[in-house]
Amino acid sequence: MLPAPIASQTARGGGGQGAQRFAPLNSWPDNASLDKARRLLWPVKQKYGKQVSWADLLVFAGNCALESMGFKTFGFGFGREDIWEPEEIYWGPEDTWLGDERYSGDRELSGPLGAVQMGLIYVNPEGPNGQPDPVAAARDIRETFARMAMNDVETAALIAGGHTFGKTHGAGPADLVGPEPEGAPVEQQGLGWKSAFGTGVGKDAITSGLEVVWTPTPTKWDNTFLEILYGYDWELTKSPAGAWQWIPKDGAGAGTIPDPFDSTAGRTPTMLTTDLSLRLDPTYEKITRRWLDHPEEFAEEFAKAWYKLLHRDMGPVTRYLGPWVPEPQLWQDPVPSADDQLIGDADIAILKSRLLDSGLSVSQLVSTAWASAASFRSTDMRGGANGARIRLEPQKNWEVNEPAALSAVLQTIERVQQEFNQAGGAKVSLADLIVLGGTAAVEQAAKNAGQDITVSFTPGRTDATQEQTDIDSFDVLEPRADGFRNYLKGGEKIPAEILLVDRAYMLSLTPPEVTVLVGGLRALNANFGKTGHGVFTDRPETLTNDFFVNLLDMGTEWKPSKTDENVYDGVDRATGDPKYTATAVDLVFGSNSQLRALSEVYASEDAKQKFAEDFAAAWTKVMDLDRFDVN
């Protein structure tokens, strides 16, 4: 059962949570008939209960199916955890199945989306908007699969490999098919797409509306899909359901495909428009034509691409469970193992002192640690501080990380690292030292405010190399906005306060954690470009609750700035004198009723210690989000 498309820009979708059981995925047109497949798996799930998650079972069943047909898979890892309600994910702007309002210009697909139409996993198999143009379809294929971080070889392998097996179902008119599971009557008990055509099943089944059998051996791994694709010239026809598909010209191949339901009958080979894209697109043609003569290469590429498809949203290989986990792959963002002696409490104290005495400010140390750790995405478990990839391409050149300033800070931290490691004994990684610098700075800022706190720190991070880092794959992690640093990329159309919610979701943060982190980071002067927006204090780099106290001060009146877009001016309500500037991200903590309630907690006179302790806890959570070795 294929997972929903994983859009690499947002890492939404995928099979890592068993979301296919819930709306809207359970009712997507591309998932038609999978309601029955899930019911077939229920006895297995019932037998093993909590020993296997639905998320694992759904994709493991697909792996087992391939092996049962003679295919040697690359490996498999268990470890997916189920969710228990639908995810609130932006799947697109359309309000009808198969709508395609997600394009602009010359078929430019909207930034965060993966599939080409609402309710499709990948692309329309009939061609763009149902127009049977294989060359145009290749453009959609390349765009969609690229957004799942698949290159041309992986894309061709997944299509050709997937269509080596099985068939599609389009035995009759689509208007004889009932509503999807979420729209079906209660007596159908969660099953949908009930067909009134004939028996409704087997030879009478209607799913996609396409009636295609690709090979004479649909339950066996071999090279016949490619042999048939290149063995005929093709012409358009329509399925019994009226969908565009392709058959060999001049009646060639008639009867060479065994009928799946009648052993005495034969069928004509058939192909989808998107199958012909593999032959008619010059790039895909070069790849697939080579596989005609090198089937072992085809099998290897499909095995690797299939493994990637099933596991790409699981994060590093350390999260995988079971006996069939292969060696780490580049797309899993590998980091070296921690083989050196780890620093202990005495070492940590020495390093904190050296970092604070290095000439770097509290703001610089905090900003660098945040930039390193806050690249994490809970949606696919990528990013984070482990690996210290903030010093590597592409992260070191991201606008949000202020490359010139970052380079200077990292050089200083690296000097501290080198001096410590040259002394012998325990070694400290740059990844650990970046986080420790932020931790020491938070403690110092709290001390500046009269609060004595200890911020938790767990060593054990290691430093990745540039060779262990897929630059193109990491490019999509670059933030469009980071409200915690008051950063909004130029030209971004989605409001910054909305993108703050998305960033918080990526970091697995609760509303109280978001609130205390924003207030604390403003007090620590950690804004992008060191702007004063939201820095409602006359003592920056001091961990105070001033942000909340001054935000809720009724003596301040806020107005949109006349000179700066996305900026608000705060003036004294009585005199009109300027006091502060802010962004919508700052002001939302006073305007939104739920966030205001939280702000009131931290603005209270008796909340200073609580604020510092809560900030330290939320800070540590973000620093450790990718510490799968200890969490």
Q: Where are the beta strands (DSSP E) in 445-520?
A: 481-482, 487-488
**What tens digit of pLDDT does each residue of 11-27 get?**
556 788 899 999 988 99
Domain extent listing, the chain: 4-184+198-319, 345-480, 496-607
Q: What is the three-state SS of 226-246? A: HHHHHHCCEEEEECCCCCEEE
Confidence class for position 579, pLDDT limits 50, 70, 90: very high
Confidence class for position 123, pLDDT limits 50, 70, 90: confident
pLDDT at residue 86, rounded to an integer: 82
pLDDT at residue 115, rounded to an integer: 46
pLDDT at residue 108, rounded to an integer: 58
Q: Does residue 273 contact residue 127 with C-beta atoms inside 8 Å? A: yes
Domains 4-184+198-319 and 496-607 share a fold: yes
Residue 2 has pLDDT above 70, yes or no: no
Hey, what amino acid is at 263? S
Fold of the 4-184+198-319 domain: Peroxidase; domain 2 (1.10.420)
Q: Does residue 92 contact residue 10 with C-beta atoms inside 8 Å? A: no
pLDDT at residue 474, rounded to an integer: 92
Segments in 105-261 forming alpha helices (H):
134-146, 152-162, 224-231
Whether a cis peptide bond, with omega within 30° of 0, leads into 24 is yes
- Whole-number Å distance between alpha carbons of 201 and 204: 5
Residue 569 has pLDDT above 50, yes or no: yes
pLDDT at residue 344, rounded to an integer: 97
Confidence class for position 76, pLDDT limits 50, 70, 90: very high
**What tens digit of pLDDT does each residue of 469-518 get?**
999 889 989 999 999 999 999 999 889 999 999 999 999 999 999 999 99
Confidence class for position 101, pLDDT limits 50, 70, 90: low
pLDDT at residue 120, rounded to an integer: 55
Q: Does residue 389 contact residue 376 with C-beta atoms inside 8 Å? A: no
Residue 353 has pLDDT above 90, yes or no: yes
- Whole-number Å distance between alpha carbons of 418 and 21: 52
Q: What is the assigned CATH class of domain 496-607? A: mainly alpha
Mean pLDDT, residues 338-348: 95
Mean pLDDT of the chain: 93
Specify the CATH number of the domain 345-480. Answer: 1.10.520.10
Confidence class for position 87, pLDDT limits 50, 70, 90: confident
**What tens digit of pLDDT does each residue of 357-375 get?**
999 999 999 999 999 999 9
Q: How far apart are the first and last CA of the chain?
A: 30
Percent of the chain past pLDDT 90, that is, above it, reads: 85
Residue 126 has pLDDT above 80, yes or no: yes
The mean-pLDDT minimum among 86-90, 141-145, 285-289, 418-422 falls in 86-90
- Distances 227 to 58, 340, 582 between C-alpha atoms, Å: 31, 53, 64
- Whole-number Å distance between alpha carbons of 564 and 552: 23
Segments in 489-607 forming alpha helices (H):
496-506, 511-523, 546-551, 584-591, 593-603
The alpha carbons of the chain give a radius of gyration, in whole angstroms, of 28
Hey, what amino acid is at 130? G
pLDDT at residue 94, rounded to an integer: 44
454, with CB counted inside 10 A (0-12, 13-18, 19+), is exposed
pLDDT at residue 3, rounded to an integer: 52
- Distances 264 to 259, 261, 274 between C-alpha atoms, Å: 8, 9, 30
Tokens of 13: 């979708």
Backbone angles phi, psi at 23, to 5 degrees: -70, 150
Confidence class for position 103, pLDDT limits 50, 70, 90: very low
CA 333, distance to chain mean position in Å, is 14
Length of the chain: 631
Mean pLDDT, residues 121-136: 91
Residue 222 has pLDDT above 70, yes or no: yes
| 127 Ramachandran zone, left/alpha/beta (phi>0; psi -120 to 50) | left
Tokens of 147: 């957004």
